[in-house]
Amino acid sequence: MGRISEIIRQDIQNMQAYAVADVPPGSIKLDAMELPYRFEPPLMEALVRELVQAQVNLYPNPAVSGLQPLLKEVFRIPEQAQVVLGNGSDELIQLMTMLVAKPGAKVMALGPSFVMYRHNAQLFGLDYIEVPLHADFTLNLPALLAALDEHRPDLLFIAYPNNPSGVCFSRDEVAAAIEAAPGLVVVDEAYGAFSEDSFLNLSGCEEKLVVIRTLSKIGFAGLRIGYAAGHPAVMGELAKIVPPYNMNQLSLVAAKFALRHYDWVAEKVALLKAERGRLFDGLSALPGVTVFASQTNFLTIRVPDAASVFEALRESGIWVKKLHGSHPLLAQCLRITVGTPEQNTVVLANLGRILAG
């Protein structure tokens, strides 16, 4: 065999691996938008009773698992929409990119936004065009419309609400962008459960619109369940490139259980939305802090010195995400997942202390 460095793509050798923080046990983990709750014992025991029945000796058949009809029912996905399951919505983002990956194809997204849009475009050798947001992370619609007109992208990603800002764009502006887009449009609603609005009700109506969602931010990040809802003309093509057996029996069983107990999820989501409001007010009252309006389960803030605040929080056992350095518009920004009421109180107390001194 030749040398690895000559065999493996140079651009991949130049990449950095996606950094998953090694958070020590017992920390207050607010870096990855996970739900800070798991099923309480009675529900967990009921889930375990179903999991022991799972046929792990057989290949999964997601198509007849019953998960899609349940997703359609719980999230009121239109009848005419077709649903494709992914191993997390990350996989669906990758597959949607693969779907358009012809030589010279273009992928467009807003900046800053979810890093995987760029990553996947580059992985498939596609041109990636980033359209900057306003400094307050709202949509610059004239800039987006001009960029759509100039570059004619095959695929446009819009995170609605957006990560890493938490801001939800105006529905009318997103609708105008979808209308103007010459290619496919993925509306990524990873935070849909925490938002006031959704495009899910339009999925299946328009050929170019694909809405991607996930169970990750509502309590089940460990299951790796994402789903795409769209027009059969596009979902039929997507289904062709989904790896066979991409979902696993245990996750399918657990996801169905979770959806049958969606009242538990809804209760936690309501609690976190109330906590988001309390955290927003508490953070806004701290000296030198700017808080951006969020329709997600996290808050993005700007502080005078993000690196030192990040370090001081970590020394207090609180792990957040340092956004500073990842994009010019995110200078001095940190991203804090909304935690339990107790965790949020600890965050506010520590940030107050850190910023005072």
Ligand X SMILES: *Cc1c(COP(=O)(O)O)cnc(C)c1O
Q: Give the dihedral sign, CA 128/195/259/30.
A: positive
290's CB contacts (< 8 A; 6+ apart) are: 301, 302
| Residue 251 found at the interface with ligand X (CB under 6 A) | no
| Residue 95 found at the interface with ligand X (CB under 6 A) | no
The site map against ligand X for 144-173 (x = CB under 6 A) is ---------------x---x----------
d(CA 117, CA 12): 16
Q: Give the dihedral sign, CA 312/321/32/294.
A: positive
Q: Which stretch binds ligand X (CB under 6 A): 35-43, 84-92, 135-143, 229-237?
A: 84-92
**Of the candidates 180, 165, 185, the residue with the CA atom closest to the CA atom of residue 117:** 185
d(CA 166, CA 356): 26
- Which residue, 186 or 301, has its beta carbon nearer to ligand X? 186
Q: Helices 249-260 and 262-284 meet at what angle, rounded to 10?
A: 80
Q: Which stretch binds ligand X (CB under 6 A): 7-15, 82-90, 231-239, 269-277?
A: 82-90
Using CB under 6 A, pick the residue from 65, 68, 82, 89 that binds ligand X.
89
Using CB under 6 A, pick the residue from 62, 112, 192, 226 that binds ligand X.
226
Tokens of 35: 């739900």
Q: Which stretch binds ligand X (CB under 6 A): 87-95, 165-173, 227-235, 325-333?
A: 87-95
- Which residue, 62 or 226, has its beta carbon nearer to ligand X? 226
| Residue 114 found at the interface with ligand X (CB under 6 A) | yes
| Residue 198 found at the interface with ligand X (CB under 6 A) | no
| Residue 216 found at the interface with ligand X (CB under 6 A) | yes
14's CB contacts (< 8 A; 6+ apart) are: none
Count of chain residues binding ligand X (CB under 6 A): 12
* Smallest separation, CB 226 to ligand X (Å): 4
- Residue 135 to residues 98, 111, 112, 204, 298: CA-CA distances in angstroms? 31, 10, 10, 34, 19
Q: Which alpha helices (DSSP H) does the chain contain, by range?
A: 4-7, 10-13, 41-51, 67-74, 89-99, 115-123, 141-151, 171-180, 232-241, 249-260, 262-284, 306-315, 341-356
* Smallest separation, CB 221 to ligand X (Å): 6
In the bound state, the residue with its beta carbon closest to ligand X is 88
Q: Which stretch binds ligand X (CB under 6 A): 86-94, 134-142, 167-175, 192-200?
A: 86-94
| Residue 188 found at the interface with ligand X (CB under 6 A) | yes
Using CB under 6 A, pick the residue from 115, 202, 221, 355 that binds ligand X.
221
| Residue 294 found at the interface with ligand X (CB under 6 A) | no
d(CA 186, CA 160): 10
Which 8-state DSSP code applies to residue 56? T
- Which residue, 221 or 293, has its beta carbon nearer to ligand X? 221
* Smallest separation, CB 202 to ligand X (Å): 19
Interface residues toward ligand X, by CB under 6 A: 88-90, 114, 159, 163, 188, 190, 214, 216, 221, 226
